[in-house]
Amino acid sequence: MAVPIRPRRSVLYLPATNAKALAKARTLPVDAVILDLEDAVAPEAKAEAREMARAALAEGGWGRREMVIRVNALGSPWAAEDLAMVAASGADAALAPKVDGPGDIARYHAALGAAPAGMALWAMIETCRAIPALPAIAACASGTRLAAFVMGTNDLAKEMRARLLPGRAPFVPALAATVQAARAHGLAAVDGVCNEVVEMGVFAAEAEQGAEFGFDGKTLIHPAQVDPCNAVFSPGAGELAWADAVIAAFALPENQGKGAIRVEGRMTELLHLEQALRLRAIAEAIALG
């Protein structure tokens, strides 16, 4: 069954304990919100975060935003209660941190057994062990709730002892491998956060890099990042004009049954028609707001 396309340009994290951020996020034009119970919440606030996330979902006011809750890792003292709460929360997805391999996906999937069938499992790709296991992890999409990869570049930098600088050179292989594994198995792929919340030129350059790699969007940590992120990951007017020209050209009677035609002075194949139809579908999904 074809899954309807959802835009995931802007995916905003906020600590589930931050009441002001919970109110603010309901007003921001983000495609998805991740209520964090993990890294952004101190150990002594874990129970409060769990209760605030549950209440935030129950209260509603999130519109069409896709709602995701990031749980604490299996093996931590909080995971079982986090996962039980998420399963009953009405969230669209649970985000599992520090996934190392297919075994972890199986364990999170099993822990979500009581959740509604439509609840997805998203996986953080943020450990060195996960990188060579990416194809095997992505293959879990068949037979489990796994539906998306989220890059965790801060944790990956910490484990690698690499520097997270503009250009992200040490992370380029992992970024490409994550997108490739995701696409091979029909998963969404969302880029990691940029810690810069003041210099939006720095942020926009990193967002552009993520779009160039093929990510669907980027995880965000601050309201200032939302508009530049949506701008980078939305199909542009030029792209949409091209898409319309390709769709119109392939619909002409003289082009029926052809695999390659000439559009706007360029060779255009059926694969371009597929790209054009996807751009249109994304633009329509975005327009729904």
Site map 35..74 versus ligand COA, x via CB under 6 A: -x--xx----------------------------------
Residue 73 touches which member of ligand COA, Mg ion, none, C-beta under 5-8 Å by kind: none
Question: Which C-beta is closer to ligand COA: that of 190 or that of 249?
Answer: 190
Contacting range for ligand COA; rule: CB under 6 A; set: 17-25, 102-110, 162-170, 237-245: 17-25
- d(CA 73, CA 61) in angstroms, rounded, equals 28
Nearer Cβ to ligand COA (13/108)? 13
Q: Which of 229, 258, 264 is nearest to 243 (CA)?
A: 264
Rule CB under 5 A: which of 80-139 touch Mg ion?
A: 126
CB of 193 to Mg ion, least distance (A): 9
SS3 118: coil
Q: Could you tell me if 108 and 98 are in contact, meaning their C-beta atoms sit under 8 angstroms apart? A: no
227-266: which residues touch Mg ion (CB under 5 A)? none
Contact flag: residue 229 with ligand COA (CB under 6 A): no
Among 69, 67, 65, 10, CA closest to 38: 69
Provide the token pair at 63: 């519109």
Helix (H, G, I), strand (E, B) or coil at 170: helix
Contact 127, 99 (CB under 8 A): yes
DSSP label at residue 179: H
The residue among 89 and 219 lying less far from Mg ion, judged by its C-beta, is 219
Q: What's the N-to-C CA distance of the chain in angstroms?
A: 24
Both tokens of 96, joined, read 């599992």
Instruction: Indicate whether 192 belongs to the interface with Mg ion (CB under 5 A).
Output: no
Which of 11, 21, 74, 112 forms a contact with ligand COA (CB under 6 A)? 21
For residue 270, count other CB atoms closer than 10 A to its CB. 13
155 part of the interface to Mg ion, by CB under 5 A: yes
Q: Which residue stretch of 127-135, 204-212, 220-228, 241-249 sits at the interface with ligand COA (rule: CB under 6 A)?
A: 220-228
Interface contacts to Mg ion, rule CB under 5 A: 39, 126, 152, 155
